[in-house]
Amino acid sequence: MNMDKIIEILKSVRSDVDYANETSLVDGKILDSFDVVGIVSELSMEYGVTITIDDITPENFNSAEAIYNMVNRLLDEE
Amino acid sequence: MSYSSLSFFIFLAVLTLVYYIAPKRYQWCVLLAASYGFYLTGGVPQLIFIICSTLIAYFAGLKMQSIRDQAKAEMEKAGELTKEEKREWKKRTKDKVHRVQILSVGLTLGILIVVKYTNFGISVLNSVLSPVGAQLPFLNILVPLGISFYSFQIMGYLIDVGRGKYEAERHFGYLALFVSFFPSIVQGPINRYGDIGKQFKEEHKFDYTTVKFGVQLILWGLFKKLVIADRASIAVSAIFNNYINYGGAEYIIATLGYAIQIYADFSGGVDVSIGAAQMLGITLPINFERPYFSTSLAEYWRRWHASLGGWMREYVFYPVMLSAPVTKLSQACRRRGWKYLARIVPSTITPFVVFTLIGVWHGASFKYLAFGLYNATIVAGSVALAPVYKKVGELLRINTETASFKLFGMLRTFFICCIGKTLGHASSLRASMHMIKGMFTDVNLDTLFGLDGTLFALGLDQRSMFVLFIAVLVLFTVSCLQESGMKMRETIARQNLLFRWALYIGIILAILIFGIYGPDFSASEFLYQAY
C-alpha cells in the first residue's frame, strides 16, 4: 500500500478533489456522506480491511494521509 | 411558555442577570433550575417523563463506562497478550457494552414510540377492523414537550458512549442539563453531548458582545416568525384548510407561501433558541444554512434542520450503509462484475431507511410516510442516475460550474422541495395529491399573478400582502449577503452608532407594528413545537 494508490482510490470516488493538499475533506464539507461510504467500500475491497462505524470519524477522513494512516492501522490490527 | 411570548423574555432577562451574578461554579445549577422551571410550566407529569429518560441515560452510560474501564484494567493486569487474545478481549467488551446500549436506546425509543404513535397504531387498527364493526377507543396519552428532541439527544449520547467516542458523564446534574437545556428543548437544535457537555462545565464571564449578538439573533428570529411566518400562515391556511374551494393557481400560491412560512417559522424559532443560549455563553449548533440555495435535494437536507440530518447521518445512515446485509449485497454485486450496482446499492437503499424515519419523526400519519418516501426516491434516484447525468452533460457540453446552471439547480431543488412540503402539510395524502395535480392541470394565470383579486381575499389585504412582500425581500437580501460570505452581526458592529441604533429600533418597531399577534398579544405556536 502506498499513498499514490490511496489517492487513486479516492479519485475513483470523487475526481474533482485535490487530495494531495486538502486537509479538511470532512470538516470542510468537501466530501459528503455518500462519498465517505464510497471510499470505505473501495478501501475494503482493495485492502480487505474491515472499516467499522467506530472508524468513521472526521479525523480519519479529513486528508489522504489520515485515510492512509487509518488503513495502515487496521491492517496492522488484523 | 412559548419562545415568542413576553413571559419568556422576562424569564430570559432575569435568568441572564442571575446567571452572571451567581458564583461561576454554580452557573450550571442556575441553568438546570431554569430549564426544569421552564419545563415545569408544562406540568409536573412532563417533568417526570424527562427525569425518567435522563435516569436511563445516566445509569446506562455509567454501566457502559464501567464495562470498558474494567476490561481495560483486566487487560493491563493480564500483561503481554497476543494479537488474537487482544482481539478476543475487545470483542467480548464490545458485546457487553452493546447489550447495555441496545437496552437503553430501546427503552428511550420505546417511550417515544408509545407516547407519540400509540393512537396512530389504534387508528390503523380501527381502519382494518371497521368492516367487522369493531373499534378500539383512542387513549388519552400525554405527549411531553419536545420529547422527540430530547429523546434523540439521549440516544445520540448512549450510542456515542457505547462507541467509546467519549467517556460517560459521571455527574447527574450535567447530564440532566444536557437533556433539558431550555433553549433547545422545544424545537432543537438536536445537541450532541460531545459538543455541548463541556460548555456547561466551563465558567462563563459576562461578555457584552456575546450577549448583544444573542439579543440580535433573537430579534431577527422574531422578525422571521412574527412578521413573515405568522402573516404568511393566514393566506396559506386559508387555502390548505379549504383546498376543495380553490384551484391550481391558489395551490401554487399556497405552496410557495408555505415554503416561506415554514422556513421563517422554524429557522426563526431556532434563531431565538441559539440567541438565548448565546446570551448565556453557550454555543448551539447551526440548524439552518439557507437551505433554499441548495442545488440538490441531498444538499438541501444537509442545510435544512442540519442537526437532525447530522444525527441521522451519524446514527442511522452510516450504520445502515456499513451493516452486514448491505455490505454483503454490495460485495455480491461486485463478485458478479456488476461494479456500478455494487457502488450504488448501499447509496440507494439507505436513503429509504433514513427518510422513512425522518418522515415518521415529523408525525404519526401516512402523509409523513409519503413525504419521507418521496424524498428518499429523489435522493436515491439522483445517486443512481449520476453517471447518466454526467454522460448527458458531456454530450450537451453543459458546464455545471456556470452561475446559470447553479441557478437552474437551485430552482429545480426548490420546486422538488415545494412538492414535498405539500405532501407533508396538506390535511391528508388525498388532499395533497389533489393539490399537486391541480398545480399542473388547473392554473388560472390571472389568479396566479394577482390580477383578479383572489390573492387579496385570502385573509390578507393589499397592505398586509405588501408588508409580507417587503419582509420576504429583506429576508431574501440578508440570505444572499450571508450566502456571499458576509457575517451580518459582525458587519453591523462595524457600522456607525447612529446606523446601528436606527437598525435595532427599526427591527423592533417592525416586530411590534407588523408582527401578527393573537387577542392576548401572544404569537401563535411554532410549527415544530409539536414534534
Selected for mutation to probe chain A from B318, B330, B340, B341 (highest A CB count within 10 Å) is: B318
Kindly state whether residues B233 and B155 are assigned to the same domain.
no
Residues B282, B477: Cα–Cα separation, whole Å: 28
Alpha-helical regions (H) of B385-460: 386-395, 403-425, 429-441, 445-448
The domain boundary, picked from B393, B425, B457, lies at: B425
Kindly state whether residues B29 and B156 are assigned to the same domain.
yes
Residues B268, B222: Cα–Cα separation, whole Å: 6
Whether the per-residue pLDDT at A1 is higher than 80: the answer is no
Average pLDDT of span B263-270: 95
Kindly state whether residues B149 and B219 are assigned to the same domain.
no
Average pLDDT of span B301-322: 92
Residues in chain B within 8 Å Cβ distance of A77: 83, 87
Q: Does residue B431 lie in a domain region?
A: no
The domain boundary, picked from B183, B205, B227, lies at: B205
Could you give the number of structural domains in chain B?
A: 3
Kindly state whether residues B277 and B386 are assigned to the same domain.
no
Residues in chain A within 8 Å Cβ distance of B327: 41, 44
User: Exposed, middle or buried: residue B198 (CB in 10 Å: 0-12, 13-18, 19+)?
Assistant: exposed
Kindly state whether residues B403 and B458 are assigned to the same domain.
no
Contacts of B172 (CB under 8 A, 6+ apart): B54, B58
- CB of B289 closer than 8 Å to CB of B484: no
Q: What pLDDT is attached to residue B531?
A: 55
- In the numeric block, which cell numbers belong to residue B159? 450510542
Residues B276, B258: Cα–Cα separation, whole Å: 26
Kindly state whether residues B310 and B410 are assigned to the same domain.
yes
Q: Do A53 and B383 touch (CB under 8 A)?
A: no
Any A CB within 8 A of B309 CB: no
- CB of A13 closer than 8 Å to CB of B386: no
Q: What pLDDT is attached to residue B13?
A: 96
User: Exposed, middle or buried: residue B435 (CB in 10 Å: 0-12, 13-18, 19+)?
Assistant: buried
Q: What pLDDT is attached to residue B526?
A: 61
Give residue-wise pLDDT tens across range B424-482. Answer: 999 998 999 999 999 999 888 888 887 888 888 888 888 899 999 999 999 999 999 99
Kindly state whether residues B33 and B169 are assigned to the same domain.
yes
Between B146 and B151, the higher pLDDT residue: B151
The domain boundary, picked from B205, B233, B260, lies at: B205
What domain range includes position B128? Answer: 6-205
Q: Does residue B436 lie in a domain region?
A: no
Q: Does residue B430 lie in a domain region?
A: no
Kindly state whether residues B35 and B180 are assigned to the same domain.
yes
Q: Does residue B437 lie in a domain region?
A: no
Q: Does residue B469 lie in a domain region?
A: yes
Kindly state whether residues B171 and B57 are assigned to the same domain.
yes
Average pLDDT of span A9-36: 88
Please measure the distance between the N-terminal and C-terminal CA atoms of chain B and give it in whole angstroms.
16
Kindly state whether residues B225 and B238 are assigned to the same domain.
yes
- Nearest CA among B232, B254, B236 for reference residue B443: B254
ipTM of the complex: 0.82
Whether the per-residue pLDDT at B201 is higher than 90: the answer is yes
Q: Does residue B278 lie in a domain region?
A: yes
Residues in chain A within 8 Å Cβ distance of B322: 37, 40, 51-53, 56
B268 to chain A, minimum CA–CA distance in Å?
Answer: 25
Kindly state whether residues B166 and B17 are assigned to the same domain.
yes
Kindly state whether residues B214 and B348 are assigned to the same domain.
no
Q: Does residue B435 lie in a domain region?
A: no
Q: Does residue B498 lie in a domain region?
A: yes
The structural domains of chain A, ordered by start, are 3-77 (1.10.1200.10)
